[in-house]
Structure 1
Amino acid sequence: MTKVQEIPLNQIRRPLPRENDQQKVKALMESIQEIGQQEPIDVLEVEGQYYGFSGCHRYEACQRLGKETILARVRKAPRAVLKMHMA
């Protein structure tokens, strides 16, 4: 089951480092400031911990805007699913 909710940015772990396109981040920052975050990021909830693997640009844009939370589509998953994402 997936649900969309606001999650504190500092509770999302991003285990796979990624180099973001700074122009895209800047454009998203402007858009989020003007009209808010339109598209939630996807996170896995495993044993009460949140893991983000997508939405890197939206995540960084919200972070740089000083937002406390981010809109996320949360999917509960067992540790085995998390391991598949890490492979």
Structure 2
Amino acid sequence: MSIQTGGLNRISGIPLSQIRRPIAPVLDHQKIDAMVSTMKGTPEASKTCTKEEAAVMNSQLPPIDVLCVRDQGKTYYFGFGGCHRFQAYERIRDQTGEDVEVRCKIIPATRSQLKLYVGSSIDDMFN
């Protein structure tokens, strides 16, 4: 849970293909393997989660905070955190060949708020 979405109880499912991730992640592959196992119903421990904690998740990962920006009648989703969870969803998608829904807490944002994260590359985000 993050400070931004700690008070948000609504969790939405957004197709992985619709979420843009403008910052390259730094990954711990053992943690991703454990998350994929949890999603498949066979929980494993990782550096940040015990097997017992993973078992309580009922094959679901915690939601990821996603910024939602509406621009010129279109909706864009941007994910900056949750890198290992995103990677776990990507592995499931690659294994099944189908787009998967990512459990998200949506934070409404404006284009100028997004610019605080991406700087001058903001225009590239909407092309």
Q: Same fold (TM over 0.5)?
A: yes
Question: For the residues of structure 1 that align with 2:103 and 2:34, how far apart are their CA atoms?
Answer: 18
Matched, 1:79 2:86: no
Tell me, which stretches of 5 or more residues in structure 1 are unaligned?
Answer: none
In the TM superposition, what are the counterparts of 1:1-87 in structure 2 within 5 Å? 3-34=10-41, 35-47=58-70, 48-66=75-93, 68-87=100-119
Tell me, which stretches of 5 or more residues in structure 2 are unaligned?
Answer: 42-57, 94-98, 120-127
Over aligned residue pairs, what C-alpha RMSD do you find? 1.7
Once the 2 structures are TM-superposed, how far is the Cα of residue 19 of structure 1 from its aligned partner? 2.3
Question: For the residues of structure 2 that align with 1:81 and 1:4, how far apart are their CA atoms?
Answer: 22
* Deviation readout 1:59-85 (Å, 9 max, x if unpaired): 110110125111000111101111112
Identity %: 37
**How many residues are aligned here?**
87
Task: After the TM superposition, list the runs of 4 or more consecutive aligned residues in structure 1 that deviate by more than 3 angstroms.
Answer: none
Higher-strand-fraction structure: 1
Once the 2 structures are TM-superposed, how far is the Cα of residue 45 of structure 1 from its aligned partner? 0.5
